[in-house]
Amino acid sequence: MAQLILNPGKERSLFRRHPWIFAGSVDRLDGRARPGDTVTVVTAEGKALARAAWSPESQIRARVWSFDAEAAIDHAFFKRAVAASIARRAAIPALHGQEGVRLIHGESDGLPGVIADRYGDVVVLQLTSAGADKWREAIVAGLVQATGCAVIYERSDSEVRGLEGLAPRTGCVHGELPAGGLTIVENGVCMEVDVEGGHKTGFYLDQRDNRLLTGQLAAGRDVLNCFCYTGGFSLQALAGGAKSVLSIDSSGPALESARRNLALNPQLDASRADWHEADVFKALRNLKDEGQRFDLIVLDPPKFAPSAAHADRAARAYKDINLFGFRLLNPGGILMTYSCSGGIGQELFQKIVAGAATDAGVDARIIYRLSAAPDHPIGLAVPEGEYLKGLACQVG
C-alpha cells in the first residue's frame, strides 16, 4: 500500500481527528496509487497515523477513512460504517416516524464524500469524493442490506465532483423509481420529492425542524417567505394558522412545484397563499417602497459563499437581505434567517445580522439559534461553517 508522507508538523490536525489532508500538508506519495485508492498516512518521522482515500486532483489530497493505521478498508468496512450510520438515526426519538431522513452525512459519519437520504422506500445516494466513488458498490450493498429499501437512486451530479476529477453520474443503482412520482409527509404536510432533478438529493431535509418551528410561530401572522423554493416553510406556516403567506422565488418551476405541494394538502387554506416569481433582492426593495409589513419573515437563500474566498461579497449580500427583512417587520415581528455558505461561519453570520438590525434602526433580540435537523450531525473536527446556520430574531 502506498504511503502518504506529511510535511513536518502537519499531523496536528489528524490528532484532532480532522479527516481532511490538504495539498500543502503533503510532502510526497511513496508508491503508486490511483484516485480513490487507500493510502497509509505517515508523519515526517515515519509514524503511521491513518488510512485515507487518495485524491490527486483535489486540494484535499486525502480524506481519512479510519484513524487506525492498521484498519482494513474493504467491503466489510463500508457495510459496517453504513449500518452504524443508520443505527445512529434509529436511536434518535425525534426521527421516529419521519418519512424523510438523512442516513449518512459524510465526514460526520466517518464516510467522507458520502451522502444518503431516505424518502420513504427510496434512498438517494450522492458520492462527491474519489474515495467514495471507488467504493460505490460496497456502499450501495451496505444501504440495501441495512435499509431494505426498494430503490437506491444515485445523484452524484454536484459541481464538487469536478474538483475530484470525477464526471457526473445519475440513475438507479438498485431497483426502479415509482412511476407516479415520490411524496413524503413531513410533520403533517405532504411534499413532492424530485430525486431526479431537484436540488441536492431532491429535498432540504436539514430544515425539517426549522420548518416545524415556523409553523409553530405563524399563528395569526402575515408571513413572508423569501427564496421559498418548493414551499416547505410556506406550507408549514399555513398549517400553523398563518393569516397570510407571501412566497417569493426566482424559479418558475420551483413555484409550480410549490403550488402542486399546496394542492397535495387540501386541509390547508389555499386562499391565504400567494406565490410571486421575482428576484428576491428587487422584490424586497419593492415591498419596502410599497409600505408593506409582515409579522414573520423567512430568509433562506442559496449558498452565497461556497468558500472563504467569496466571504466578503457574500457578507454584503447577506447584509442586504437581512437589512430589508428587518425593515419589513412589524413591531414584535420575527425574522428567521439562514446561511448554508461554507465561507460564512456562525460568528460572522451573527455579526452580519446584528449589523443589519443596527442599520435598519431596530432593537432586535435572538430568540432561537437555528441549526440543522438531528440527522445532520456536525463532525467533531469538521468546520461548522460547512453546515446550516441560522437565527430567529424578534424586533421590539
Per-residue pLDDT of the chain (396 residues; tens, 9 = 90+): 999 999 999 999 999 999 999 999 999 999 999 999 999 999 999 999 999 999 999 999 999 999 999 999 999 999 999 999 999 999 999 999 999 999 999 999 999 999 999 999 999 999 999 999 999 999 999 999 999 999 999 999 998 999 999 999 999 999 999 998 999 999 999 999 999 999 999 999 999 999 999 999 999 999 999 999 999 999 999 999 999 999 999 999 999 999 999 999 999 999 999 999 999 999 999 999 999 999 999 999 988 876 667 788 888 999 999 999 999 999 999 999 999 887 888 899 999 999 999 999 999 999 999 989 999 988 777 766 667 899 999 999
**Chain-centre distance of CA 292, in angstroms?**
32
Domain span including residue 115: 75-182
Residues 6 or more apart from 237 whose CB is under 8 A from it? 214, 215, 218, 221, 223, 225, 245, 296, 298
Distance between CA atoms of residues 198 and 254, nearest Å: 9
Per-residue pLDDT, 386: 65
**What span, in angstroms and rounded, lies between the C-alpha atoms of 240 and 236?**
6
Q: Are residues 229 and 256 in the same domain?
A: yes
Cβ–Cβ under 8 Å, residues 333 and 324: no
Calculate the CA 199 to chain-centre distance: 10
Query: 340 an active-site residue?
Result: yes
The count of structural domains within the chain is 3
Whether residue 255 sits in one domain with residue 273: yes
Letter string b/e over residues 169-198, b meaning 16 or more CB atoms within 10 A of that residue's CB: eeeebbeeeeeeebbbebbebbbbbbbbeb
> Catalytic residue among 149, 226, 340, 393, which?
340
Residue where one domain finishes, among candidates 117, 150, 182:
182
Q: Is residue 195 part of a domain?
A: no
- 385 and 239 within one domain: yes
Asked if residue 57 is part of any domain, the answer here is yes
Residues 306 and 278 in one domain: yes
Q: Would you state the pLDDT for residue 377? A: 86
101 closest CA partner among 112, 86, 114: 86
Residue 83 main-chain phi, psi, to 5 deg: -60, -40
Residue after which a domain boundary falls, among 150, 182, 214: 182
Same domain, 157 and 79: yes
What CATH number is associated with residue 106? 3.30.750.80
Question: End of a domain among 43, 66, 89?
Answer: 66
